[in-house]
Structure 1
Amino acid sequence: NMSFEILSFEALVHAVSGAMGSVTAMTVFFPLDTARLRLQVDEKRRASSTPAILAEIIKEEGLLAPYRGWFPVICSLCCSNFVYFYCFHSLKASWLKGRQSAPRTDLLVGIVAGVINVLVTAPLWVVNTRLKLQGSKFHNTDIQPTNYRGIWDALGQISRDEGVWALWSGTFPSLLLVLNPAIQFVIYEGLKRQLRNGVTRELAAFEVFMIGAVAKAVATTVTYPLQTIQSVLRFGQFNKSTSKSTLMSGLMTIRCLLVNRVRKFGMLGLFKGLEAKLLQTVLTAALMFLLYEKIASCTFRVMGLSSHHKHSR
């Protein structure tokens, strides 16, 4: 019964475990995400390495500056991972109905779960990007300062001043970027099956950490140029295309931003901030997957559910 699978307790456990794991991991490595976002958005900043930009931010803005915008990011991440993990595992259970999973299934389910997640949580990520950059000392003097008092105030101001659809800024590249978690889950699930080698067993902490890191590193490097454009669009300070078609406007905007970045910085400009992003995202994803597996496993054990639920992922 598909409705039973979608509303199942197992999917809820995976969703809560994924949300808790991601929030904890992001909190630990949050300054690296701050460095990545500054490198993507503040084009005139000279510092190019993660330690250098973090030292610069602390010197210019204070010791707690690398944690600016922590609360909205954590709220967005918690909601986003809950939606993604819930959709991924409930849809996968409905699709497979007890059969063995395959990379093609993981990729398709990952893409569908990603699309649902993007459409539901996009406004939170737009607000999160604005709040995270608010009060920053930019080296690019063209950037206009904003004054949001929090998540709800930002949602209200953006809707009123820029229109409701501005809350979905960057959604087009985000929809293309559903390939990121989809690729990540395909590699993660595939490596997990290889390590188990047909035997139903719980993977060691080190194994989970390493396959989580490898999966995220590949997915991030492949999709990074689009992630940079996504950050610029969410920040909202760019010249919009006047094309009437939303699809054409989205495509033209992405193309223009990519071309302009290549003209200014060369091909490597598309990967500006990749070092910080890889450090943050790989370590965060590895720790998140480790915590997620352990929380889900412990929950199933405490609830007295069979090992089938733990290893059917």
Structure 2
Amino acid sequence: MYLGWFPVVSALCCSNFVYFYSFNGIKSVMLGSQKKARPLLDLSVAFISGCVNVLLTTPLWVANTRLKLQGAKLHTEHYNKKTDEPTRRHYAGILDCLLKMIKTEGVVKLWGGTIPSLLLATNPAIQFMVYEALKRYFKRILKVAELSGLLYFILGAVAKATATVITYPLQVVQSRLRVIYKIPQLYCFRTKGVRFLYKGMEAKLLQTVLTAALMFAIYEKIAHFIFQTMGLR
């Protein structure tokens, strides 16, 4: 049940650092002299940050996907060009996976599924737009400068659930592009229908919604503490 936990933690640390750093930096530049943020601005900043994040951290997520799925039938098979027979790829860890991919498949494969990933930058974009809009709304109606940790948790969960439901089919295509070598990417859609594009969404919602809810709650409290300590708004 914890197969591939270390690559996930490594990828999440790098990805969240890149994303939050990019989001806050780009937002401060684009906001400029404006006093109030707007949903469209939040969406644009989040999408740009997502694209930066994808281009920098995709190799980690490709390795992470393969490590979690190695040993699963079909998903981690590499086809021998001479015999057309599948051979198993066994990876000892994230670095071993990256090095073997470079050696046997080329550097370009490290960015497998990048196009769907760039499209999936809409996921955090929608997530942040919904989250920022909800946060501003509750601060306004409650007339407070800082919300409670529980409310941040709930807002983060709602925002992530909304984004996941909208973009889940793209995540299915992205995962298959990262691990499949021979089967065309639209094969399953043509043979199994639209329902297949939402396969496993329940587990994805449980995982991503809880992760995002905890992340936002912790992030907001840490950020508030640091800014307060530094005397910044």
Q: Output the TM-score relative to the length of structure 2.
A: 0.89
Answering whether residue 153 of structure 2 is matched by residue 209 of structure 1, we say yes
Q: 2:179 aligns with which of 235, 238, 249?
A: 235
State the distance in 1 between where 2:38 and 2:218 align: 24
Q: In structure 1, what is the equivalent of residue 109 of structure 2? A: 166
Code of the residue aligned with 2:96 in structure 1: it is: D
**Secondary structure of 1:67 counterpart:** coil
Q: In structure 2, what is the equivalent of residue 145 of structure 1? A: 88
Report the CA distance shift for 1:238/1:287 in structure 2 as closer, same or farther (over 3 A): farther
Structure number with higher relative contact order (C-alpha < 8 Å, ≥ 6 residues apart): 1
The Cα shift of 1:160 comes to 1.2
Q: For structure 2, which runs of at least 5 residues remain unmatched after alignment?
A: 78-86
The Cα shift of 1:96 comes to 1.0
**Secondary structure of 1:101 counterpart:** coil
Answering whether residue 130 of structure 2 is matched by residue 187 of structure 1, we say yes
The Cα shift of 1:142 comes to 8.4
Q: 1:295 aligns with which of 204, 211, 222?
A: 222
State the distance in 2 between where 1:193 and 1:261 align: 42
Code of the residue aligned with 2:60 in structure 1: it is: L
Aligned residue runs from structure 1 range 24-35, under 5 A: none
State the distance in 1 between where 2:179 and 2:76 align: 13
State the distance in 1 between where 2:75 and 2:9 align: 29
State the distance in 2 between where 1:193 and 1:142 align: 45
| Contact persistence 2:113–2:178 (CA under 8 A) | yes
Aligned residue runs from structure 1 range 268-307, under 5 A: 268-301=195-228, 303-306=229-232
| Contact persistence 1:232–1:238 (CA under 8 A) | no
Q: 1:219 aligns with which of 163, 179, 200?
A: 163
Superposed CA offset, 1:104-145 (max 9, x none): 1101111111111100111111111111222x3x35598442
Q: 1:257 aligns with which of 179, 182, 185?
A: 185
State the distance in 2 between where 1:228 and 1:164 align: 23
The Cα shift of 1:266 comes to 2.5
Q: 1:109 aligns with which of 45, 63, 88?
A: 45
Code of the residue aligned with 1:72 in structure 2: it is: P
**Secondary structure of 2:88 counterpart:** coil
Q: 1:176 aligns with which of 95, 119, 122?
A: 119
Q: In structure 2, what is the equivalent of residue 131 of structure 1? A: 67
State the distance in 1 between where 2:136 and 2:40 align: 14
State the distance in 2 between where 1:124 and 1:227 align: 16
**Secondary structure of 1:197 counterpart:** helix
Q: In structure 1, what is the equivalent of residue 83 of structure 2? A: none
| Contact persistence 1:155–1:167 (CA under 8 A) | yes
Code of the residue aligned with 1:85 in structure 2: it is: F
| Contact persistence 1:209–1:290 (CA under 8 A) | yes
The Cα shift of 1:207 comes to 1.3
Q: In structure 2, what is the equivalent of residue 93 of structure 1? A: 28
Q: In structure 1, what is the equivalent of residue 84 of structure 2? A: none
Q: In structure 2, what is the equivalent of residue 253 of structure 1? A: none
Answering whether residue 9 of structure 2 is matched by residue 74 of structure 1, we say yes
Q: For structure 1, which runs of at least 5 residues remain unmatched after alignment?
A: 1-65, 240-255, 309-313
State the distance in 2 between where 1:86 and 1:125 align: 19
Code of the residue aligned with 2:93 in structure 1: it is: G
Superposed CA offset, 1:188-224 (max 9, x none): 0000011011745111122111111111111101111
| Contact persistence 2:76–2:179 (CA under 8 A) | no
